[in-house]
Amino acid sequence: MENKHRPQSVFRAAGTVAFFTLLSRIFGFLRDMVVANYFGTAKMADAFFIAFRIPNMLRQLTAEGALTAAFVPLFTKTMMEDRQKAIRFANNLLVTLTILLTLFVMVAVAFTPLLLKVVAYGFTGDAEKFQLTVKLTRLLFPYLIFISLAAVFMGMLNTFNHFSSPAASPVMLNIAIILSAVFLRDTFSLPVYSLVVGVLVGGFLQLAIQVPFALREGYAFKFVFDPGSALIKKIVTLTIPATFGIAVAEVNLFVDTILASMLQEGAVSYLYYAQRIVQFPMGVFGVAMSTALLPMLAHQSGANEKHKMVETLSQSFRMTMFLIIPSMVGMLVLREPIIQLIYEHGEFTHQSTINTAFTLAFFSVGLLAFSGVKIFVSAFYAMGDTKTPVKIAAAMMVLNIVFNLVLMGPLQQGGLALATSLSSTINMLLLVHILRKRLGGIDGRRMLRSFRSIVFSSVVMAAAIYALWGALFGNGYTVIALTIMLTLSVIVYVLTAKALKLEEVGSVIGGLRRKFRPKT
């Protein structure tokens, strides 16, 4: 393989993914602000969120999540052996996916009403709302085809050591939805159809933006349709269990949505908006790290370098804790002003803010687990083991349902969020326990030392927020106040962590210095 396709530093790759993911999340919040302003948390919003969640959930399970996790290690190994064979494998997968997904979408469109009677049973009592959800779901199913093909190109580009365009591609989806909602909503009898146009156009653009970069890296398309090939059979074998193993958090969130449809009107929307807030730090830090990890761990596993895998996992999780835990604490403390400033406009009322903030508090406590599951599952997939994570995931899905049924009564949609956080935390701990045995250690003591220092620094930061917000701004929530408060929080956190001699501080500062050092 050419030198340029050797894996780069995981932190450098993760930094690239994090930057573009941050950009995507910013546009995602702008998208949510637009949607919240025009549609609020009423009937059309609930119908769209359910309709969009179904193909989006399938995308997480069969495409961007499980397929990428199975494809990247297999494609990496094939590239190490025979480049032309690897390109043929990618083309075969692209053609096979296109044909199978087209057939699947046709069947799914026919059976959409039956599907929605299962996943949105609470909507069946409102015929108008249910029929609208059916129409929107049918229109959104083709999005699955675009995003699945985009996931294959993402896997190729990441193996080619190119992370920027796949990470930037979700920006296209957010921009398309924003523009459609703003300029097309008055074109349709029901304004919500403008969001459908945005999703479909955005899905196509997510695929299209990656193709030129793949061509530049040496990819060339050739029609290959051989679904019975050994590599396709292997990827099917890996993908089926990976469907559950890598996406347990998403599956749990989907169960939350089903149960939320049986609660008060707006519960689905409260869950959605709270989840979007949680996904911001998780996407920028946790998902970025796991995306960068998979190709590197695949190389290390292929070379049978278990000690390097342990070192890479330890460094990656410690860095993730350093970034995620203060985000979690900050979100708990500042959840109401954050939601008010982002969403409380137009049809999104102050009561919507209160209910969404209540839900966000319970999602926040699981933030480290959501990110940790993605990181540790990557190690199993790099080793070609998709069965172990699926066994754990299946048990956790059952446990999540139990937690849901126990907690949704007293806590409403907040109980559903807490159930997801609890089951994901147990999932992460079980993955770590098994990896420790599989790799002969996991550098646990070092992780625990970092965890203690990070938690202490985060608590100091939280105390500073409580003290400074009242002293500086009283009870006023403004963008300037929140920006100043977040900046001061970061300063307090970093100074405290530095005083405790936390090595991750040096890694972050050193990385920033290298990034912005003037070129000579």
Residue 278 forms part of a structural domain: yes
The answer, yes or no, to whether residue 88 has pLDDT greater than 90, is yes
Q: What was the pLDDT predicted at 244?
A: 65
pLDDT-based confidence at 85, cuts 50/70/90?
very high
pLDDT-based confidence at 346, cuts 50/70/90?
confident
Q: Which of 47-61, 273-287, 307-321, 453-467 has the lowest mean pLDDT?
A: 47-61
The answer, yes or no, to whether residue 337 has pLDDT greater than 80, is yes
Q: What was the pLDDT predicted at 291?
A: 81
Q: Which residue has the higher pLDDT, 204 or 520?
A: 204
Dmax over CA atoms of the chain, in Å, equals 68
Q: Which of 245-259, 398-412, 496-510 has the lowest mean pLDDT?
A: 245-259
Residue 282 forms part of a structural domain: yes
The reply to whether 419 and 498 lie within a common domain is: no
pLDDT-based confidence at 111, cuts 50/70/90?
very high
The reply to whether 324 and 361 lie within a common domain is: yes
**Mean pLDDT, residues 225-253:** 77
pLDDT-based confidence at 42, cuts 50/70/90?
low
Domain boundary among 386, 411, 442: 442
The answer, yes or no, to whether residue 127 has pLDDT greater than 90, is no
The answer, yes or no, to whether residue 131 has pLDDT greater than 70, is yes
Q: What was the pLDDT predicted at 446?
A: 92
Residue 1 forms part of a structural domain: no
Q: What was the pLDDT predicted at 476?
A: 64
Classify each residue of 479-491 as buried b or exposed e, where b means 16 or more C-beta atoms within 10 Å of its C-beta.
eebbeebeebbee
Percent helix, strand and coil across the chain, each to the nearest 5: 85, 0, 15
Q: Is this model's pTM higher than 0.95 or not?
A: no
The reply to whether 105 and 44 lie within a common domain is: yes
**Mean pLDDT, residues 464-478:** 75
Under a CB-based contact definition with an 8 Å cutoff, are residues 24 and 177 in contact? no
Q: What was the pLDDT predicted at 17?
A: 83
Under a CB-based contact definition with an 8 Å cutoff, are residues 163 and 292 in contact? yes
The reply to whether 462 and 430 lie within a common domain is: no
pLDDT-based confidence at 203, cuts 50/70/90?
very high
The answer, yes or no, to whether residue 375 has pLDDT greater than 60, is yes
The answer, yes or no, to whether residue 7 has pLDDT greater than 70, is no
The reply to whether 378 and 294 lie within a common domain is: yes
Query: CB atoms < 10 A from the CB of 213, how many?
Result: 17
The reply to whether 435 and 482 lie within a common domain is: no
The reply to whether 273 and 380 lie within a common domain is: yes
The reply to whether 115 and 133 lie within a common domain is: yes
**Mean pLDDT, residues 414-418:** 92
pLDDT-based confidence at 260, cuts 50/70/90?
confident
Residue 137 forms part of a structural domain: yes
Residue 144 forms part of a structural domain: yes
Q: What was the pLDDT predicted at 64?
A: 57
Mean residue pLDDT of the chain comes to 85
Q: What was the pLDDT predicted at 332?
A: 92
The reply to whether 438 and 459 lie within a common domain is: no
Residue 423 forms part of a structural domain: yes
The reply to whether 462 and 399 lie within a common domain is: no
Residue 2 forms part of a structural domain: no
Task: List CB contacts of 60: < 8 A, sequence separation 6 or more.
Answer: 247, 250
Q: Which percentage of the chain shows pLDDT scores above 70?
A: 91
**Of residues 344, 49, 59, 53, the one with CA closest to residue 192:** 49
Under a CB-based contact definition with an 8 Å cutoff, are residues 26 and 333 in contact? no
Domain boundary among 416, 442, 468: 442
Task: List CB contacts of 433: < 8 A, sequence separation 6 or more.
Answer: none
The reply to whether 271 and 148 lie within a common domain is: yes
Under a CB-based contact definition with an 8 Å cutoff, are residues 5 and 75 in contact? no
Q: Which of 65-79, 202-216, 302-316, 419-433 has the lowest mean pLDDT?
A: 65-79
Domain hosting 482: range is 450-520
Q: How far apart are the two ends of the chain, measured CA to CA in Å?
A: 31
**Mean pLDDT, residues 131-150:** 91
pLDDT-based confidence at 478, cuts 50/70/90?
confident
Under a CB-based contact definition with an 8 Å cutoff, are residues 377 and 431 in contact? yes
The reply to whether 44 and 65 lie within a common domain is: yes
Domain boundary among 442, 476, 496: 442
Helix (H, G, I), strand (E, B) or coil at 103: helix
pLDDT-based confidence at 11, cuts 50/70/90?
confident
Could you give the angle at the alpha carbon of 18 between the alpha carbons of 449 and 303, nearest 5°?
70
Under a CB-based contact definition with an 8 Å cutoff, are residues 325 and 368 in contact? yes
**Of residues 436, 303, 269, 282, the one with CA closest to residue 369:** 282
pLDDT-based confidence at 126, cuts 50/70/90?
confident
Ranges of beta strands (E only) in 143-283 are none
Q: How many domains does the chain have?
A: 2
